[in-house]
Copies of this chain bind each other. A is one copy, B any other.
Amino acid sequence: MKLKHIIESQQFTVPSLYDLFERADQMKKIVKRGGTRDYQNKVMATLFYKPSTRTRFSFESAMYRLGGSVLSTEQAKEFSSEIEGENLEDTIRIISNYSDVIVLRHYEEGGAKRAAAVSPVPIINAGDGSGGQHPTQALLDLYTIYSECKTLDGLSVAFVGALDQGRTVRSLAYLLGKFDRIKLYFIAPLEMTIKNDILEYLDERGVSYQLADSTDGIINRVDVVYQTRIDKKRLINKDVKLSQYNIDKNVLSKMKYNSIIMHPLPRSVEIDPAVDTDPRAAYFRQAENGLYVRMALLTMLFENEE
């Protein structure tokens, strides 16, 4: 697949995902050998309208491991300090003169698409708006499952937490729906259950899923638990104990020996640090995989230019 920009998860077909993951595997080997200088002439701009040091560092490290350079800002709004409301399009047209790829975190849903429409260099969406997309997160999540479970077919995956708001959960559920014999569990307090658009999509594709408000009888059967935060203040029924959605040593003891626990991080109380040393705790490996997937994406974009 020829990639021009990376805007949303929907761009990726199953074969292109396997291509990407094979390439990410290679990148892991390259990093362990000390990186490459192959892309030393490339300049990446990280244009963040909202700070996110974690995501920014992951992209910038990917560029450095490929040998390239980085223009970096977490205060992209300062572009517009002189006039209110300078448009994103003008900013992109200017920055594209100074860089070979632009990693954009914008505050508005659709920001990345607007940027891509005018940019002569590739745009990578690093999150646009809270209801928008964050495709590289979804891709590194899927790669982590593939890398840990050695397959993407026939898996059962439980999503736990405030599923109505989770950009990452929505995107990952979407991507998992493309694979065979997948079974998804959406476990959340009633007021935070997964939204209907995702369920309709899964229905269309004939993907098996189940909604629940408790992990009981599910956590012990799944291959993957994808854990997310729950904001206490959003809880309507105050009798519900949020701690029942947390993972601690006790919950861990019920899980399959070869299952994994994932989390987009940062975490709060929903995963007890006592779980960290268990081999099933995959969340720090998941963060590591962000590096390899982003390196893989960058090389795909650069190759397509040639």
Interface residues of A (CB under 8 A from B): 34-35, 37, 40-41, 43, 45, 51-54, 56-58, 60-61, 64-65, 69-76, 78-83, 86, 89-91, 93-95, 97-99, 229, 265-268, 273, 284, 287-288, 290-291
Quickly give the copy total for this chain: 3
Determine which of B37, B83, B267 lies in contact with A40 in the assembled complex, contact meaning CB atoms within 8 Å. B37
Once bound together, how far apart are the Cα atoms of A52 and B40, in whole Å? 26
**Contact A54 B284, CB 8 Å, known A40-B37, A79-B266:** no
Please report the C-alpha to C-alpha distance between residue A284 and residue B75 in the assembled complex, in whole angstroms: 22
Known: A83-B229, A97-B284, A291-B97. A69 touches B74 (CB 8 A): no
Q: How far is the CA of A89 from the CA of B74 in the complex (A)?
A: 23
Please report the C-alpha to C-alpha distance between residue A249 and residue B304 in the assembled complex, in whole angstroms. Answer: 36
Question: Can you list 23 pairs linking A and B with CB atoms under 8 Å apart?
Answer: A34-B41, A35-B41, A43-B64, A51-B78, A51-B81, A52-B78, A53-B73, A53-B75, A53-B79, A57-B95, A57-B99, A61-B97, A64-B69, A64-B71, A69-B70, A73-B74, A82-B266, A83-B229, A86-B266, A86-B267, A86-B268, A94-B284, A97-B287
Other contacts beyond A51-B81, A69-B70: 4, CB < 8 A: A52-B78, A93-B284, A97-B287, A97-B288
